[in-house]
Amino acid sequence: MAVPEHPEGRSTRAPNDEKQVPNQTDSTDTESGKGTLTSGSRGFSAAPDGGARAWLVVAGAACIFFSCLGFMNSFGVFQEYYMANQLRHHSPDDVAWIGSLTAFLQFAGGALAGPMFDRFGAWVIRPGAVLYVFALMMSSICKEYWQFMLAQGVLAGFAMSMLQVPAFAAVSQYFDKKRGAALGLVVSGSSIGGVIFPIALSKMLNGSTLGFGWSVRVMAFVVTPLLAFSSFAVTSRLPPRKTSFFIMSAFREARFMMLIVAAFCCFIGMYTPLFYIPTYAVSRGMERTLASYLLAIVNAASTFGRIIPGILADRFGRLNVFGLGALLTGIIVLCMNTVVSTAGLIVYSVFFGFTSGTIISGASAALSICTDDAQKLGTYMGMGMALASTASLVGPPVNGVLLDTYGGFLQPAIFSGVICLAGGVLAVATKVTTPKGLFGRA
């Protein structure tokens, strides 16, 4: 019998009744070999895998990723603009540190946001939404390097983590068999944002009289109603867990640690075109505004690269799709310096966008197979993505140093592509830790 649920996930069953529900739902297996995340053995109803409430959570989470990761995916526009204007006296790696710190904190903060979601519910999204809008407003008035680092790097990055990791965990509580597809739809919100934000920012920064301050403020006004909707649409399905804040035993699990290292390597590789493709295109003679549009093309292609592989992951295995996406992304990054024409850069952006689209949603879906307890999903995802996101503190700045030292993009492409390939190989190798083995559908 289904258990009536409070909107924030608290069961209306009497406390003593919760322990008496027979385990009738843990029958089908997943790639983890631990049983589905129905929580039937713990007295909670199975994940609905659909329904109005579940899809409303997906919609709210997609709005979060549109506003946060979508904006983050447009940093290449800021990189090129800062190097030509406010921060023109700083090196490329100095400027890249702003975006890399944002990218790091948006998932590293999940080490706190994930366990907070598991213990206190989805309310943690609301202060994160307020803080994020405030960070954008503060970024609009920055003039010095340390100000950009503090507002756009630290404050915005931490606010993103308070939004994104709980959104991932909330959706995972509502979906089990269709989780890959649901998370793909959620992260596709960032792809749509990654189309709109670069085009809008490039147009306002380079083709209008608004100036930098009002261009960024307009973006803040755009995301405000979306985050307001998300603050009420995203709710937890299960009651909070009352055990320890962190789950340290997770770090003794080979599957969990291998997936963290694999995601770390993939993140190093995928951020290189996202940060530098406009700068690379300008160096090949492309007009600045058109070069900024390449990010929009990348993110438009990644919309399909997140939804379609997510659906395939539920059918053919989450580790299979994650590993294949990482391998293809590594190959494409290696080819970056060989593309010289405008048409070639557009085609390159389409292919890179599609393959790299599997990495964020694929890594999250893969981490979710490390536990069979839906009440621990936020903590597992938060801790895993926090460690993996340290890649963003390594990749863009190292590539900036390589670019500054060698004066070309060959060395950054080789560095990032090879490491991304290593991540793909490790993701596939993680299948040996599953009951179905290396050649199974895991």
Amino acid 39: pLDDT: 43
Amino acid 305: pLDDT: 79
pTM score, whole prediction: 0.70
126 in a structural domain: yes
Q: Which domain holds residue 52?
A: 46-433
The dihedral region occupied by 97, where left means phi > 0, alpha psi between -120 and 50, and beta the remainder, is alpha
Amino acid 13: pLDDT: 43
Spatial CA neighbour of 142 closest among 98, 172, 177, 112:
98
284 in a structural domain: yes
3-state secondary structure string across 313-333 = HHHHCHHHHHHHHHHHHHHHH
- Are 175 and 54 a contacting pair, CB within 8 Å? yes
Q: How far is CA 122 from the centre of its chain?
A: 18
pLDDT tens, residue order, the chain (442 aa): 444 444 444 444 444 443 444 443 333 333 334 444 444 435 567 777 778 888 999 999 999 999 998 888 788 788 888 888 888 888 877 888 888 788 788 878 877 887 888 777 788 899 999 999 999 999 999 989 999 999 999 999 999 988 988 888 888 888 887 877 888 888 888 888 888 888 888 888 877 778 888 999 999 999 999 999 999 998 888 777 666 667 787 788 888 899 999 999 998 888 788 778 888 898 888 887 788 788 788 878 888 877 887 778 777 788 888 899 999 999 999 999 888 888 999 999 999 988 888 887 778 778 877 777 766 777 887 788 788 878 877 787 788 888 888 888 899 999 999 999 999 999 999 888 876 666 666 6
Question: Which residues does 168 contact at the CB level (< 8 Å), separation at least 6?
Answer: 61, 183, 186, 364, 378, 381
Q: Per DSSP, what are the bridge partners of residue 11?
A: 5
Q: Determine the Cα–Cα distance for residues 360 and 270; give it in Å rounded to an integer.
A: 10
Angstrom CA distances, 179 to 54, 113, 150, stand at 11, 21, 35
Q: Determine the Cα–Cα distance for residues 348 and 417; give it in Å rounded to an integer.
A: 14
Spatial CA neighbour of 22 closest among 3, 8, 49:
3
Amino acid 149: pLDDT: 93
28 in a structural domain: no
Q: Rounded to 5 degrees, what angle do the CA atoms 200, 201, 202 make?
A: 95
247 in a structural domain: yes
Q: Angle, nearest 10°, between helix axes 342-367 and 288-316?
A: 40
Question: Which residues does 346 contact at the CB level (< 8 Å), separation at least 6?
Answer: 294, 297
Amino acid 439: pLDDT: 66
CB atoms within 10 A of CB 52: 8
CATH number of domain containing 405: 1.20.1250.20
How many domains are contained in the chain? Answer: 1
7 in a structural domain: no
382 in a structural domain: yes
32 in a structural domain: no
391 in a structural domain: yes
